[in-house]
Amino acid sequence: MEMTFRWYGDSDPVTLDKIRQIPGVTGIVSAIYDIPVGEAWPMDKILELKKKIEDKGLNLSVIESVPVHEDIKLGKPSRDRMIENYCTTLRNLAAAGVNVVCYNFMPVFDWTRSELDHELADGSNALIYVKEQVDKMDPISGELALPGWDSSYTKESLKAVFDEYANITEEDLWNNLKYFLERVIKVAEEVKVKMAIHPDDPPWPIFGLPRIITSKENLERFCKLVDSPYNGITLCSGSLGVTKENDIPDMVRYFGKMGRIHFGHCRNILITEEGSFEESAHLSSKGSLDMREIMKAYKEIGFDGPIRPDHGRMIWGETGKPGYGLYDRALGAVYLNGLWEGLE
Ligand code: CS2
Ligand code: MN
């Protein structure tokens, strides 16, 4: 297992100099943020990113994410050109020595929460999801924005994309995902890049938009869409773990033994009531997931890929990108490393 940490590039207040002082973190998870979704990532930008990271003694272990253009998810005719570009990016990443790529297939929105700085009992601030509040949110009012979301939408373009999704069923989304994978995995195999889909967060349909990467059954279906070891998963415990039916250690063992887990996101969450949750500290006793059992499952499958702590709370007065401060994620990394060492 390689412990990694997400870095949002030069504008990230959590600098590489800080990250490299976290004991046991050797890998960086990053991306190129200034290329429009759907365009190919040029070689020089990839090499520049890699050099910055390696100059600090760290590895560029994972790209999170190479985003999938909405036209691909919608199955529009323009998707062929976008998929072509996606394949070029994979070839370029491989040529630069990067071999794990994370992405997701969630329509329009990435992760969704109702509050980004909810104060927990200990005075720290966390992202939370309260079903009742999300149910009342109007995503096309133009007033909502979450850091995980594509900020390039205007009120009008958001309305337009919602209209397009009105005709897309879950089965359509499965078909569009299959179409994408059939083309991309062929290239991934050729250049040896492990593709790792991130589960939907939360793992249920939101704002009337379909979501399919949500459960063991659906992940199994996903693996079979294109039955290749390069068609794999980012097993995100905090995304899948908010429904009790998703047994994370079981999923780690099951998909791990199939050789399909290429990246682990290890974070805890506290289910507060059905359909609602808080992002707790990583420690097992603070949330609903048994983190030791999860790490034990990774140990059992002989996992040697990258793992990262996921979102952290804001503690010790830190401010910054919600979920992506330094302190609580660093505690998470060290805690996960401690569990791992204890399981040796
Ligand atoms: C991440 C996602 O911050 C997060 O929750 O796990 O934004 C993740 O990067 C994407 O869903 C993967 O494409
Ligand atoms: Mn995640």
Which residue in the list 69, 198, 262, 282 is annotated as catalytic?
Answer: 198
How far is it, in rounded angstroms, from Cα 69 to Cα 81?
11
Least confident of 92-96, 180-184, 202-206, 237-241: 202-206
Identify the helix (H) or strand (E) that includes residue 84.
helix 79-95
* 102 CA to centre of ligand 1 in angstroms: 9
How far is it, in rounded angstroms, from Cα 36 to Cα 33?
8
Average pLDDT, the chain: 96
Please give the pLDDT value at position 137. 87
Strand partners, 194: 100
Domain residue limits at 184? 2-343
* 312 CA to centre of ligand 2 in angstroms: 11
Residues in CB range of 42: below 8 A, 6 or more apart: 35, 92
Query: Is 311 annotated as catalytic?
Result: yes
How far is it, in rounded angstroms, from Cα 238 to Cα 240?
6
pLDDT band of residue 32 (cuts 50, 70, 90) is: very high
* 221 CA to centre of ligand 2 in angstroms: 20
Residue 234: name the closest of 205, 204, 256, 209 by CA: 256
- Residue 9 pLDDT more than 70? yes
- Which of 65, 113, 214 to mutate for ligand 1's pocket (most ligand atoms within 8 Å of CB)? 65
Please give the pLDDT value at position 328. 98
Give exposure, 7-30, as e/b (b: 16+ Cβ within 10 Å).
beeeebebebeebeebeebebbbb
Which residue in the list 87, 102, 223, 236 is annotated as catalytic?
Answer: 236
Residue 233: name the closest of 275, 271, 203 by CA: 203
* 77 CA to centre of ligand 2 in angstroms: 30
**Nearest ligand by distance to the CA of 213:** 1
- Residue 67 pLDDT more than 90? yes
62 exposure class (CB count in 10 Å sphere: 0-12, 13-18, 19+): buried
What pTM was computed for the model? 0.96
Give exposure, 90-121, as e/b (b: 16+ Cβ within 10 Å).
bbbbbebebbbbbbbbbbbbbbbbbbbebebe
**Percent of the chain scoring above 90 in pLDDT:** 90
The CA-to-CA distance between both ends of the chain, in Å, stands at 12
- Where on the phi/psi map is residue 106: left (φ > 0), alpha (ψ -120 to 50), or beta? beta
Please give the pLDDT value at position 151. 72
Half-sphere exposure of residue 111, counting CA atoms within 13 Å on the CB side? Answer: 22
- Residue 146 pLDDT more than 80? no
Query: Is 118 annotated as catalytic?
Result: no
Please give the pLDDT value at position 109. 87
Model pLDDT for residues 298-314, shown as the tens digit of each residue: 999 999 999 999 999 99
Mean per-residue pLDDT for 264-272? 98
**Percent of the chain scoring above 70 in pLDDT:** 98
Q: Per this entry, what is the length of the chain?
A: 344
Ligand 1, residues at Cβ distance < 6 Å: 64-65, 102-104, 110-111, 148, 198, 201, 236, 265, 310, 323
Please give the pLDDT value at position 148. 66
Mean per-residue pLDDT for 237-243? 98
Please give the pLDDT value at position 147. 66
Give the chain's domain count. Answer: 1
Map tokens 């009342």 to a residue.
Answer: 136
How far is it, in rounded angstroms, from Cα 248 to Cα 271?
14
Instruction: For residue 286, give the CATH number of its domain.
Output: 3.20.20.150
